[in-house]
Each structure stands twice: as structure tokens, then as C-alpha cells.
Chains A and B, each alone.
Chain A
Amino acid sequence: MSNFTESSLIESDAVYSKVVRAGDFWIHQINAGQTLRIVDLEGNQAADTLFYNADDPDDRYSACDTIAAQQALYLTSGTRLMSTRGTELLKIVADTCGRHDTLGGACSRESNTMRYAMDKEPMHACRDSFLRGVQSWSPHLDKRDVTCNINFFMNVPVSPDGQLDFADGVSAPGRYVEMQATSNVICLISNCPQLNNPCNAYNPTPVQVLIWDS
């Protein structure tokens, strides 16, 4: 795959490593110059991810600004992750999956009723994890801060005639994406619990997050 870029970083040099189980959230600061790697440990998992400027969280990841800045729908090596103020938050520096989505958003209990069936409402969903994530970080963050996210490892192909669908993952066990922070950022991941579509191969599994100093 043309977008396949391996990292030269060695796992034992990482200053932080954690496994995030399916259905859990993870929120952590990554400073400018540090590198974040997310590993799809068992394959075909969706890691729903939001970023905020740690120095002023009102400035945050913007899917539209990221798409417009590269004039491209999919995220891969070289993609600059842009904020609502048009600043670069991070840049993807390695990617062994090949492409990642930023159109598909996060699942919520409310949208599950719309997408699948009214009786899916009780099922755990990413937005609930995102809400607990921002609440745990700051009393000043709430639903207004849960915006349109990145879905690392998720495959949402769009055809030239404008059809869009969720498809089987293009990821596999051990594939990873790595990004270097350009700004001090807060990273919030909801490791997606969705059981109703192929984004997780109907089987949500853990991801690993690692951080390296510059």
C-alpha cells in the first residue's frame, strides 16, 4: 500500500504505554515534540479520537479544516491534523494501516436508535465515553466540546458519485498510526464499543497507546 510508512521508534524507549480496553476512554496530554502511537492490537478496531489544544481547549481538532487543508478525505502519513483556528495540532508521521476516517463521527445511544433500531438505545456508545472523558479532565468541558472526531483504523469509503458506507476494516492485528504533536495537545480516545456495524468487525478489542519524547 502506497501510504504504508513504518516508524523507526523502539517500543522500549517509550515514556508511556497503556492498553485501552474496548468501551473505555483514555485522556492524556501530549506535549509538542512528543510522538503518540495507537496500535490496533487485534485488528479491525475503531479508535474514536478527539484532540484539544492543551493551552486553550476552545481550539480543537476540526475535521473540516483538516479535510480542506489537504483537499483529501482520508488521513494517512503526512496528514496535518488541523484545529478550528486553523493551526496544526499534530502530523501523522507513520502509518501501517494506510487510511483513517474523519467523516464517520462517533456512535451515540441516540444515533443508534436512528441507525439501527429503537431498542439499541441502552447499548454503550462512544459519545458516553467522550462525555465521561471531558468531564474527568475539566469542569469546563462538556457536550459542546465533543465534536467531529477521527476514527483511526476505520474504513468509510466514499465513491466518486457520492455514496458513503461503513466497510470492513482495512486494518489488521498490530497495525499502528503514529503522530507527532506540533502543539501541546490533549488526546481523548473512546475505544469504540459498537456492536451493530462492521467498523469493529462486530467484536470490539483493545488498543495500545504509547508516547515517546522528542
Chain B
Amino acid sequence: MSETPPLLYNRRIGGGQMWSKVIGRGKCLKITDLEGGANVGMMLYNANEKTERYNMPDTLKGQKIFYLRAPYCLHSDMGRLFASIVDDTVGWHDTVCGSTNATMVESKYGTNDYQDARNDWYRNGRDCFLIELGKWGMGERDLIPNINWFSKVSPDESGKLTYQSGNSPAGASVTLRFELDTLVVLNTCQHPLDSNPTYDPKPVQLDVLPAPSVSEEDPSRSIRPENGRAFQNTEEYNRLRF
């Protein structure tokens, strides 16, 4: 019964690196925090219609949550789902704080450019996103509120935010099951509110596997009636298109 599914792809991504691929519906992406303390900034687009994007507000208000965890879903801005979080050993992932930019990295960590440091130079999330977007004919106008996998930022009653270090131990992982053919753009730069005063982005492992089919009782579908309707919209789109 419990045959190990074949691994379709695996890759180690160093700290401060970037990556983008299309992952088809019916496949899973497992992200593993190899050393603990990783941050994976991620943006999602419909691979076939790149103006359809991950929508942070619809993801939050549609599921009445402030952060991401299994079995919640990643909603698009068209009433559909990019992916379901089917496995998660962490339990809290940020999606409201965005990414670092060059000014922020320089003011936090100082200057360390390519001329001096070669490939150990300091990278920032925004530039990494723009480089990968550029390879798909996209750019600044496509920057959207991203997910920060493995990072926790929690509010107090007044809305003041605090970064919680130590949220993700070595070996922690999160697995996404894709419901739409999705362009995944990610980088492993530090979280913008990371309290670590040194530049120290951590590596992750990416594994892609086939996903079992989604049943009517699937927890990502049944956790919220909103998700049930978003699954309906997604299935209708795939039925009409493919």
C-alpha cells in the first residue's frame, strides 16, 4: 500500500539563492529546512496565465487566518487555489512581511559586494525575485505579497509585530500539493524582520513528487466551506482548459 512515490526532482538550494520552475497540478513540492532557521520567500503565478497570482488577502480572509499551516490552501486572486499545504512540521509560516531589499540588507548587515566577496556577496529578496521574474518575461509590476516559509511573526493586541526566532528546527519541512499548473518563484534570503544581526541565510532542500488524487474528504478542502468552493472553481478551470 505505502509505496514510496518516485522522486521527480531534488535540489539543494544554498542560503541567499533563488529558483523558479513550473510545477504541474497533481504534483507535490516538499521544502526541507536543512539546518534550521531557513526562510523561503515564495510567489506563485498561474503558469498559463501569469496575471493570475497568489493573493495574500484572499488566502487570509477566505480562511480566517493570519498565518499559514496545514491543511490550509494558497489562494489565487481568481477565486481558485494554487496549492494545498498537505504536510507541515512547523505550524506557522508568515505571509504579511514581504521580502528584504538592497537598502534594508545594507543597513542591517553592511556592504559585501561581488567584487570583494564573489559568490558569498550579500543578496536581498527583492532583487532575487526580480531576477527570476525577468526570466519569465515578468518584472516589477508582478511583485506581490509573498509567503515566508518557516518564519513566524506574531502580533500583539495592538498589531505590533514580533519576529520569533527558532520557529523552524533543522529537518523541518512543509509540503505543497499543486492544484493548478503553477510558476513557483522563490529565494532563500533572510526574513525582513529577522532579528539575527548577521547575514546568515540558510539552505533548503526541494523535492518534487507525484501527489495522490484529492478526495471529497481531503482536509484542505473540508477545513473551510470557502476552500470547498475554491476547489470547485479550480476543478472547473482545469476541466475547461485541459
Instruction: Please give the residue numbers on chain A whose beta carbons come within 8 Å of chain B beta carbons, in ascending order.
Output: 58-59, 62-65, 67-68, 71-74, 84-86, 99, 103-106, 108, 110-115, 117-118, 127, 142-145, 147-148, 156, 158-160, 162-166
Within 8 A of A (CB), among B118-148: 126, 139-146
Question: Are A71 and B193 neighbours in the complex by a CB distance under 8 Å?
Answer: yes
User: Chain A's interface: helix, strand, loop or mixed, by majority?
Assistant: loop
How many residues does chain B have at the interface if contact means C-beta atoms less than 8 Å apart?
Answer: 50
Instruction: Please give the residue numbers on chain B whose beta carbons come within 8 Å of chain A beta carbons, in ascending order.
Output: 51, 55-58, 60-62, 64-67, 75, 77-80, 92, 96-99, 101, 103-104, 126, 139-146, 154-162, 192-193, 226, 229-230, 232-233
Asked if A103 meets B57 with Cβ closer than 8 Å, knowing A64-B96, A68-B193, A111-B79, the reply is: yes
Asked if A72 meets B161 with Cβ closer than 8 Å, knowing A105-B55, A111-B62, A148-B145, the reply is: yes
State the CA gap A148–B192 with chains docked (Å): 18
The number of residue pairs between A and B whose CB atoms lie closer than 8 Å in the complex comes to 137
Q: Look across to chain B and name the residue whose beta carbon is closest to the beta carbon of A166.
A: B61
Question: Are B144 and A110 neighbours in the complex by a CB distance under 8 Å?
Answer: no
State the CA gap A73–B66 with chains docked (Å): 11
- The 7 tightest CB contacts between A and B, nearest first, are A105-B57, A64-B98, A110-B79, A73-B159, A74-B159, A162-B66, A144-B141
State the CA gap A194–B160 with chains docked (Å): 28
Chain B nearest Cβ from A94, distance in angstroms: 19
Q: A114-B75, A162-B92 are in contact. List 17 more A-B contacts (CB 8 A).
A: A59-B140, A64-B146, A67-B96, A71-B160, A72-B160, A72-B161, A73-B96, A103-B96, A110-B77, A110-B80, A110-B233, A112-B79, A148-B55, A148-B57, A159-B66, A164-B60, A164-B65
Question: Are B104 and A86 neighbours in the complex by a CB distance under 8 Å?
Answer: yes
Q: Which residue in A58, A103, A113, A160 is a CB contact (below 8 Å) of B60?
A: A103
